[in-house]
Amino acid sequence: MTVIQRKEYRPLTEATAVTYLQKLGYFTNELCESIEIGDGNLNLVFKVTPVGSEKGLIIKQALPYAKVVGESWPLTLNRATIESNATKIYNELTPNYSPKLYEHDEDQAVTVMEDLSHLQILRKGLIEKKSYPFLAEHIGEFLAKSLFFTSDFGTTPAKKKELESLFNNPELCDITENLVFTDPFFDSETNNYEEELNEVIHELWSDEVLQIEVAKLKLDFLSKKEALLHGDLHTGSIFVSADETKIIDPEFAFVGPIGFDLGQIQANLIFQVFSRSDQTEEIVEHILAIEKTFNEKFIELWEQHSVRPFNHLGLIKEKIEGYWVDAIGVFGCELIRRSVGLAHVEDIDSLEHDLKIQVKKKILHFGAYCIKNRLKIRNIKNLLSGLEI
């Protein structure tokens, strides 16, 4: 029997990132600059650029622990392979909205990909009140294509089961299950919130109806296998310019409920509505247009590419409506967890303290409203009509 020896895992440094690339055949005869640019919680990210050039390559390496906590929170390195496999699929299905993937090293949990440093993280751009006229169209199309072609409407039963196996991602799904659907709804040690929110938060914890509805949403997250999800689609996972959009960081990818991706991105956009005193109209238009674009494109794809005899338009419209009902529940959970839980958002936490507390109280109440009333709300237009800023 042949025993395959895995290479010993070694975290890269700015210097060894250059050496690593050169061993792969990149920039072999060039002097390079290397900078660690990662600002996330889970990975090292290096930009390696030949001296005198503006564009280089990005090396992303998964760490065996969460940076936000430290080595006391170990994490699987397999998430780098999950991310690489998801990016390959996005390169095929949505090449305009995904960074190009060049190399993946499973042993070192390293991925080499396109340099997107000419773009800006969407969350940062929105905080700076920049406009993105094509954002909703791009996100809506990305969601429709990536979800349709990995769903029962757009792929065969055999390929769907292959996806479920390939994206078996229990460790990172467990993080989501806890941080989104569990910890914010009871007195968990991972929670992180201001003392002034105590009264509102304890109201949520004692709201039995809310607790039951969140439990239903968590059960859906555990059991629905509708399509390949990005799994962590927020405004920090999107690079943008005025006319370009790239979706990054699908290391949380798994086959799950379509409404999860829909709800996460919409919730993270609406933080801008809560945090801005003006210029909210454009954000609201984005939120509405993402739903409209997704719905229209999903139906168009179904009409042109359905692989099954699901041949009644009424069925597909009913399913899409169900996706948005689920999304509104996820939307509410995301609002609450970003105010109560471990990971917050800069959109809100950068506000002056008294204003931040005032805004977070509104967010918490609205999140609970969305979760409990999602079956009545049903779509984004109705959801926004219930929003009071």
- The domain that holds 140 is classified in CATH as 3.90.1200.10
Residue % of the chain over a pLDDT of 90: 89
Please give the average per-residue pLDDT across 78-107, as a whole number. Answer: 98
Angle formed by the axes of helices 208-223 and 170-181, nearest 10°:
160
Sequence letter at residue 187: D
In a shared domain, residues 56 and 203: no
In a shared domain, residues 136 and 109: no
In a shared domain, residues 110 and 48: yes
Average pLDDT, the chain: 94
In a shared domain, residues 227 and 321: yes
Please give the average per-residue pLDDT across 140-162, as a whole number. Answer: 97
The reported pLDDT for the residue numbered 67 is 65
Domain limits for position 136: 116-385
> Please, which residues bridge with residue 255 across strands?
228
Asked which of 69-78, 254-263, 340-349 is least confident by mean pLDDT, the reply is 69-78
**What's the predicted TM-score (pTM) here?**
0.95
The reported pLDDT for the residue numbered 3 is 39
Task: Out of 87, 115, 143, pick the residue that ends a domain.
Answer: 115
70: left (phi over 0), alpha (psi -120 to 50) or beta: left
pLDDT digits (tens, 9 = 90+) for 137-148: 999 999 999 999
Please give the average per-residue pLDDT across 43-69, as a whole number. Answer: 91
In a shared domain, residues 188 and 211: yes
Please give the average per-residue pLDDT across 271-299, as a whole number. Answer: 93
Strand duo 101-105 + 110-114: pairing: antiparallel
Please give the average per-residue pLDDT across 149-155, as a whole number. Answer: 96
Instruction: Give the pLDDT band (50/70/90) at residue 312.
Output: confident
Task: Out of 115, 148, 165, pick the residue that ends a domain.
Answer: 115
In a shared domain, residues 98 and 150: no
Comparing CA positions, the residue from 139, 140, 136, 134 lying closest to residue 242 is 134
pLDDT digits (tens, 9 = 90+) for 11-24: 999 999 999 999 99
Query: Looking at the 3D structure of the chain, how many domains does it have?
Result: 2
In a shared domain, residues 214 and 100: no
Q: Reply yes or no on whether the pLDDT at 324 is more than 50.
A: yes
The reported pLDDT for the residue numbered 1 is 39
Q: What whole-number distance in Å separates Cα of residue 236 and Cα of residue 324? A: 22
Q: Reply yes or no on whether the pLDDT at 5 is more than 50.
A: no
Task: Out of 115, 136, 158, pick the residue that ends a domain.
Answer: 115
pLDDT digits (tens, 9 = 90+) for 181-221: 999 999 999 999 999 999 999 999 999 999 999 999 999 99
Structure tokens at 248: 């990054």
Q: Which long-range contacts (CB under 8 A, 24 or more apart) does 212-219 make?
A: 213/329, 213/371, 213/372, 213/374, 214/181, 214/185, 214/333, 214/371, 216/329, 217/181, 217/326, 217/329, 217/330, 217/333, 217/371, 218/177, 218/181, 218/182
Instruction: Give the pLDDT band (50/70/90) at residue 308.
Output: confident
The reported pLDDT for the residue numbered 307 is 86
